[in-house]
Amino acid sequence: MSVWQQLTASKKIEPSYPKLPEVNDRGETNVPGLYAVGELAGTPLVKLGLNAGHDLVIRLSPELKARGSGDSEKLDLVIVGSGSSGFAATVAAKDLGLKAVTLEADKFANTFVTMTKGKLLFAEPHDIEQTSRVWFEECRKEELLERWRAMIEDEKLDLREQEKVVDIRGAQGDFTVVTDRGEHRARRVILCLGKAGNPRKLGVPGEKEQAGKIHHRLLDPDEFDDEDVLIVGGGDVACEAAIALARRGTNRVTLSAIDQEFTFPKKRNIDAVRALESEGQLRIELGSHVTRIEEREVVVKLAGDREERLPNSVLFEMIGAELPLAFLKKVGIRLAGAWSPKKWVVLISIFLFVYSLYALKGYGKGITAWPFQGWISPDSYDRVLGAIFRVAFSPFAWLFDASALADIHGDRGFQQGFLYSGLYTLVMLVFGWEALIRWRRKAKNPRHQTWRYASLISFQIGFFLIVNVIAVQALSVEYAWRAWGLYQPFPLFFNTFFWWYPDRDPTAVLAFFVIAGLLGTFVAIPLLARNHGKRFCTWICGCGGLAETLGDRWRHLAAKGDRSRAWEFQGALLLAASTIIGVVVVGLYHTDGNNVWWRTYNYLVDFWLVAVIPIALYPFFGGKVWCRFWCPLAAFNQILSKKYGRLKIVSDDKCITCTECSKYCQVGVDVMAFAKNQQPFDNSNTACIQCGICIDVCPMDVLSFETSDPKATELIESGRSSGCSR
C-alpha cells in the first residue's frame, strides 16, 4: 500500500478500537436516565462487570428513593441484560428495596452459557475488591452458572428470560421499555448488553439453507468426532476452536480467514495453530473467504483467486459479534466519536472562543490580531489590558521599584505575555490537580503519576515566575521573555536565536541565552532521550502539559488506527521546515525575524497549529493533536529515541484484550496489539510518549517500563516513583 493509500484508506475494523456508546463518568449515555455498563461500556472481566453493575445502582439509589408517592405501577429500574453487570445490578436493586425487573433476550448469563465446556474463569484483578455480594471466585463456568441460578431461585429475583427489548421510549423519569411480550414503565433504564447474541454472519449463498450445520460457538469439543470442519475467522475464538478440535486427532480441520496475516489473536494462540499446522493436524488458509455453503461441501476462494471445494460437515462462523447498533440508534444512543449537529455547533463555538483569545493576545502584532485590531482602538485596548494587568500583577508589584514598574506598565507585550502565561499556568494547575486525582485513583502504583503531574505543574509555575518576575528583575522587561527558551528549546521556541543586535544587546546576555539554547537542543534533549524517550513531552513541556491537564479528560477520543498513525509524518516535515527557517533567519537575515520566512511560519505554525487548532480540538480528538502530528521538538525527540533510546514498555502473557490500554493512549499507539503478542514497544515502532497511563489502566497489570540500562530500570521500578524519570 502506498503512502497516499495509507493516508486516505477507509477505516477498518480493528480489535483495539471497538464501537461503543458514548457514556460519561457516571455510566450515563447521551440520553438522560439511560445508562450503559458492562461489555456495552467496554468494561472487561467478570469481577469488574459485577462491580460496575452494583456500583451504578448504589449511585442511582438516593435519587430513586426520593421519588415520593408517584406512580405506584412505575418501576424504579428496568435492567436490560443478565450478564455479570446486569445480575449484580439486579441483586443490588433488591438489596436497596428498589422496584426493578431484569429482562434477558436469551438465556440468563448467556455469555457464560456459550463458553466452551470447562472454561476456567479467573477472579482477576486480584488487587481490586469485589463490591457486589454476588458469588464469584476462580472457577469453571459450570460452577458459576449453578451458583448464580441458585441465587435467583433462593432470593426470588425478578429476572425474565426470553423477553427481548425492542424499543425504549419516553424520557428520564418516565421511560416505556417495549419488549416482544409487553411494556414496562420505569424511571431509569440500565443497559447491560453483550455481544453473545449478535454473531456476525458470512452472508453467502447457502448460509440459510444449511443453518443446521453452522455454529457460532464451540461449547464442547467432545461432541465433534470424525468431522470435516471449517472454521471461518482470524481471532482468538476461531484459533482456540481450531486448536481444541484439531487436537482431538479425529477431525479434519481447516482454518480460513480473510486476513493476510494473523493480527487479531494473542501470540500463544498464533504459535499453537502454527504448531498444529506444521504437525499436519490443521490446515490454515489466510487471505481466503467462503463463497458458497453446500450440504456436504463449502466453496472457498483461496489467496490468488483460486477456488477450492472442501468436504464439510460442520462449519463454525467465528468472525466476531456486534453490539446491537441498530437498536442503540433507534433509542437515540450516540456512539463514541459520532458527530451530530450539536457537536458541530460546540466545535465551532469552542474554535471561535480559542481563536478570539489568541487574537486578543496578539493585538498589535499584525494578522494574528484580525479582526480585533480593526474593531478596537489602541487606547481602549491598552486601557482595559492595563486595568486587568494591574490587578493580576499586584502580588508581585512590591518587588519592583517605581522605575521598573513604569517600564512594566508601559510595555504592552509584557502585559499580554504575563496575563496569557498566568492564565495558562492557572488552567494547568486546576486541571492538573483534577487529572492527578483521577489517575491516583485508577493506578495500581499512583506514585508515578503523582511525580509526573507534580513535575509538569512545577515546571510551568517555576518558569512563569522566572520569566515574569525573576528575569524581569535580573534583566529588565526587554530581555525577560527570552527565558522561555530555557523551558522550551528550539525547534519548539525559535526566539532564543532571533532578534539579537550586537550593537545594542549586552554580550553577556546574548551569549548566555544562545549557549543555553544550544545546550538545551543539542545536549539536554539528546541525553534525556537516551534513557527516557519522549518523556520530555509528559514531564516537562508546557505544550504537552496543557494537553495532559486540560486535555486529559478527553484523552480517550484521540485519533486511533493505522490511518491516523500514517499522518504522524507531518512532525518531521515541520522539523525540517523549522531547521531551514532557523538557518535562513540567523544566516541570511542576521537573526532579524521581520521577514516573510519567519512571519509565514509564525502565522501558520505558532498561531494556528500550536495554539488555535489543537486546543479547540481537545474535546473532540484529545489533547495531543499538536504534540503528535505537528510538534517539531517531538519529532526531534522521536528521531533521537528511535536511534539510541533505551526506554520501552514490555508485557507479560496475561493480556485479556480488553482494549483499555489502547483506548486511553493520547498518541494513538495500538498498545493492545503489542501487549497481546508480548511485543515490546518504544520509539522505534511507535510515537509513545511514555506517560504510563496504559500501564495504569490495565486491569491485569500486564505492562511495565523497562530500559536496557539496569540502573535506570531500577530507578523506574522502585519508583516509577522517584521523580527522577525526568
- Of 543, 552, 550, the residue nearest 430 (C-alpha): 550
Which residues are CB-contacts of 702 (< 8 A; sequence separation ≥ 6)? 651, 652, 654, 655, 661, 675
- Of 670, 648, 649, 667, the residue nearest 659 (C-alpha): 670
Instruction: Say what the pLDDT of residue 724 is.
Output: 32
Query: SS3 of 322, please?
Result: coil
Distances (CA, A) of 511 to 9, 466, 497, 508: 50, 19, 10, 5
CA 448 to chain centre: 19
Q: What CA–CA distance (Å, rounded) separates 647 from 641?
A: 8
Q: Where are the alpha helices (DSSP H) in 533-684?
A: 536-539, 542-549, 562-566, 570-587, 596-601, 613-621, 625, 632-644, 660-663, 671-676
Residue 493 class from Cβ within 10 Å (0-12 exposed, 13-18 middle, 19+ buried)? buried
CATH homologous superfamily for the domain 211-317: FAD/NAD(P)-binding domain (3.50.50.60)
Pairs from 363-371 (Cβ < 8 Å, separation ≥ 24): 363/412, 363/416, 364/412, 364/413, 366/599, 367/603, 368/602, 368/603, 368/607
Cis geometry, peptide bond prior to residue 371 (ω within 30 degrees of 0): yes
**What's the length of the chain?**
726
Instruction: Say what the pLDDT of residue 712 is.
Output: 46
Which residues are CB-contacts of 386 (< 8 A; sequence separation ≥ 6)? 409, 415
Give the model's confidence band at 6: pLDDT under 50 very low, under 70 low, under 90 confident, else very high. low
Instruction: Say what the pLDDT of residue 325 is.
Output: 84
Instruction: Say what the pLDDT of residue 7 is.
Output: 64
Give the model's confidence band at 716: pLDDT under 50 very low, under 70 low, under 90 confident, else very high. very low
Q: What is the mean pLDDT of residues 183-195?
A: 92
Cell triple for residue 631? 510538534
Q: Are 191 and 36 in contact (CB under 8 A)?
A: yes
Which residues are CB-contacts of 219 (< 8 A; sequence separation ≥ 6)? 114, 115, 116, 117
Q: Are 505 and 560 in contact (CB under 8 A)?
A: no
Q: What CA–CA distance (Å, rounded) separates 608 from 631?
A: 12
Q: Where are the alpha helices (DSSP H) in 362-401?
A: 372-375, 378-397
Q: Is the pLDDT of residue 116 over 90?
A: no
DSSP percent split of the chain into helix, strand, coil, nearest 5: 50, 15, 35
Instruction: Say what the pLDDT of residue 721 is.
Output: 39
Cell triple for residue 570? 507531518
Q: What is the mean pLDDT of residues 6-16?
A: 67
Q: What is the mean pLDDT of residues 54-77?
A: 85
Count Cα neighbours of 717 within 13 Å in the Cβ-side half-sphere.
15
Give me the sign of the Cα torsion angle 237, 239, 245, 247.
Answer: negative
Domains 34-191 and 211-317 belong to one CATH topology: yes
Give me the sign of the Cα torsion angle 585, 589, 590, 593.
Answer: negative
> How many helices (H) does the chain have, and how many strands (E)?
31, 19
Residue 183 class from Cβ within 10 Å (0-12 exposed, 13-18 middle, 19+ buried)? exposed
Strand partners, 224: none
Q: Is the pLDDT of residue 715 over 80?
A: no
Q: Is the pLDDT of residue 603 over 70?
A: yes
% the chain with pLDDT above 70:
94
* DSSP conformational letter for 21: B
Q: What is the mean pLDDT of residues 358-373?
A: 94
Strand partners, 257: 286
- Give the predicted TM-score (pTM) of the model: 0.85
Instruction: Say what the pLDDT of residue 431 is.
Output: 97
Instruction: Give the tens place of pLDDT for each residue, 398-410.
Output: 999 999 999 999 9
Give the model's confidence band at 36: pLDDT under 50 very low, under 70 low, under 90 confident, else very high. very high
Instruction: Give the tens place of pLDDT for each residue, 421-477.
Output: 999 999 999 999 999 999 998 887 889 999 999 999 999 999 999 999 999 999 999
Pairing assessment for the beta strands 174-179 and 139-140 based on DSSP bridges: unpaired
Q: What is the CA radius of gyration of the chain?
A: 30
Distances (CA, A) of 457 to 422, 493, 701: 13, 19, 28
CATH number of 34-191: 3.50.50.60
Instruction: Say what the pLDDT of residue 322 is.
Output: 76
Q: Are 488 and 541 in contact (CB under 8 A)?
A: yes
Instruction: Say what the pLDDT of residue 713 is.
Output: 47
Instruction: Say what the pLDDT of residue 3 is.
Output: 59
Q: What CA–CA distance (Å, rounded) separates 473 from 407?
A: 12
Phi, psi of 558 (to 5 degrees): -55, 145
Instruction: Say what the pLDDT of residue 230 is.
Output: 97
H or E, element range at 462: helix 447-465
Q: What CA–CA distance (Å, rounded) separates 107 from 516?
A: 69
Q: Where are the domains of the chain?
A: 34-191, 211-317, 341-719
Give the model's confidence band at 128: pLDDT under 50 very low, under 70 low, under 90 confident, else very high. confident
Q: Are 586 and 498 in contact (CB under 8 A)?
A: yes
Q: What is the mean pLDDT of residues 233-260?
A: 93
Instruction: Give the tens place of pLDDT for each residue, 92-103.
Output: 999 999 999 999
- Of 190, 186, 188, the residue nearest 75 (C-alpha): 186
Q: Which residues of 346-375 are buried (b: 16+ CB within 10 A; e: fewer)?
A: eeeebeeebbeebbbbbbebeebbeebbee
Instruction: Give the tens place of pLDDT for each residue, 133-163.
Output: 999 999 999 999 999 999 999 999 999 999 9
Q: What is the mean pLDDT of residues 644-673?
A: 92
Q: Are 629 and 605 in contact (CB under 8 A)?
A: no
